A and B are shown apart, each in its own frame.
Chain A
Amino acid sequence: MCETCGCGDPARVPIDVQERILSGNERQAAHNREHLAGHGVLAINLMGSPGAGKTAVLEATARALAGRRLAAIAGDLATDHDAARLRAAGIPSQSITTGSACHLDADLVHRALHHVDLAAVDYLFIENVGNLVCPAVYDLGQAFNVVALAVTEGEDKPLKYPVMFRKADLVLLTKADLVPHLDVDLDAIQANLARVMPEPLAFVVSAKTGQGISLWAEWLEGRKRALAPAGAGAPAHHHHG
């Protein structure tokens, strides 16, 4: 404060703010969550490294949940290859091309949701950008976070990426058909998960042989049943420009 000499310099004023920097994303995620829950849609945020087998797991899921109404939103830096693969597997899919962005955020998902007929969907899979760091930071409005971790990725991956695994409700240990060819200790992966996930839950799966896919499908169906029925308090969705 420069009242003493009258020089007209500005005063320096300290302000206590204490605001969450991502509060804008959190508001948008809450909106998505309410909208999805209002339609009785179980939304899964599927994360994992590039090449962890996220798309292959969803292809196998389409086979296991044949007859259920699935939809997907696939995020990728470039190309819509993942969405195209999912459509070929029978899952109506939107692609979000993020350009240089390393993660999806709630606003990107919200815009993609405008192209999904939620009244005709029971399960929505949001396949995040392949990355074990950035996607963990952004709430999308999902009901559950699922992380795909390939058995080829190394036993210490959970310890290297604790932020991602702490947020996981379920881990799918993918490419289990490769275990006989590898020097991998599945128990060590489970033990490492217990050091970063307060309630560790992991299924060993193979999209190729179908191993463990029925466990995963049952997990999904159980979560879907626990949701309120569609239409219960569904908010009328406003349209944005």
Chain B
Amino acid sequence: MHEYSIVEALMTHIGEQARAHGATAVSRVVVRIGELSGVEPDLLRTAFELVRERTICDAAALEVERIGARWACGDCGRAIQGGGPLRCGACGAPARLIEGDEILLAQLELEVANV
């Protein structure tokens, strides 16, 4: 299960953002995970629960936005339905993945001390 190493990389990004903004805590983490990214949202949540303790994310809620796979013809751009052969019905060119392989840190909500 590689979701732990994904969460470790995620924590590095969050730490950088928190330092850059002078945050004292993180209250919300939004990630975008593609259907064909190879990352399982449930396993990611489990890994996050275990890793976040005593970090700046101790009280953070993790939201996972799932992105479905969308294919289109690499030549003519026509949409191609997944599940069948990944070829364009019109021109025969191979399909290209338009979205669905994302592993993104999308948004954060940081707690910044009032001065």
Complex interface: chain B residues within 8 A of A14 (CB): 28, 107-110
The proximity string for A residues 68-103 relative to B, scoring 1 for CB distances below 8 Å and 0 otherwise, is 000000000000000000000000000000000111
| B5: chain A residues within 8 A (beta carbon) | 101, 105
Expressed in whole angstroms, the minimum distance between the Cβ of B83 and any Cβ of chain A is 7
By a CB distance below 8 angstroms, the chain A residues around B31 are 21
B96 close to chain A: CB less than 8 A: yes
> How distant is the Cα of A18 from the Cα of B2 in the complex, in angstroms?
21
A191 (CB) vs chain B CBs: closest residue: B85
- CB contacts (< 8 Å) of A182 on chain B: these are none
Within the complex, the shortest CB–CB distance from B100 to chain A, in Å, comes to: 10
- B25 neighbours in A (Cβ, 8 Å): 10
Give a binary string over B28-53; 1 marks a CB under 8 Å from any A CB, 0 the rest.
10010000111100000000000000
Q: Which residue of the partner chain A has the closest CB to B85?
A: A194
Are A12 and B39 interface neighbours, CB within 8 A?
no
Chain A neighbourhood of B28, CB < 8 A: 14
> CA separation between A2 and B114, bound complex, in Å?
8
Q: Is the CB of A18 within 8 A of B111?
A: no
CB-defined interface of A168-202 with B at 8 Å, one 1/0 digit per residue?
A: 00000000000000000000000100111111000
Tell me whether A133 and B2 are in contact in the complex, defined as CB-CB below 8 angstroms, given that A166-B36, A198-B74 are known contacts: yes
- Residue of A15, A23, A103, A136 near B21 (CB, 8 A) is A15
Among A10, A17, A103, A191, residue most surrounded by chain B Cβ atoms (within 10 Å): A17
Known: A10-B24, A22-B9. A17 touches B105 (CB 8 A): yes
Interface flag for B1 (CB, 8 Å) = yes
Would A19 and B2 count as touching, CB distance under 8 A? no
B17 close to A17 (CB less than 8 A): yes
Chain A positions within 8 Å of B103 at CB level: 20-22, 137
Q: For the complex, what is the distance from the CA of A24 to the CA of B5, rounded to whole Å?
A: 12
Please list the residues of chain B having a beta carbon within 8 angstroms of any beta carbon in chain A: 1-2, 5-6, 9-10, 12-13, 17, 21, 23-25, 27-28, 31, 36-39, 71, 74, 83-87, 94-97, 102-114
Known A10-B112, A18-B105, A22-B9; further 16 A-B contacts with Cβ < 8 A: A10-B25, A11-B113, A12-B111, A13-B112, A15-B17, A19-B13, A19-B105, A20-B103, A21-B10, A137-B6, A137-B103, A162-B36, A163-B37, A191-B85, A195-B86, A197-B86
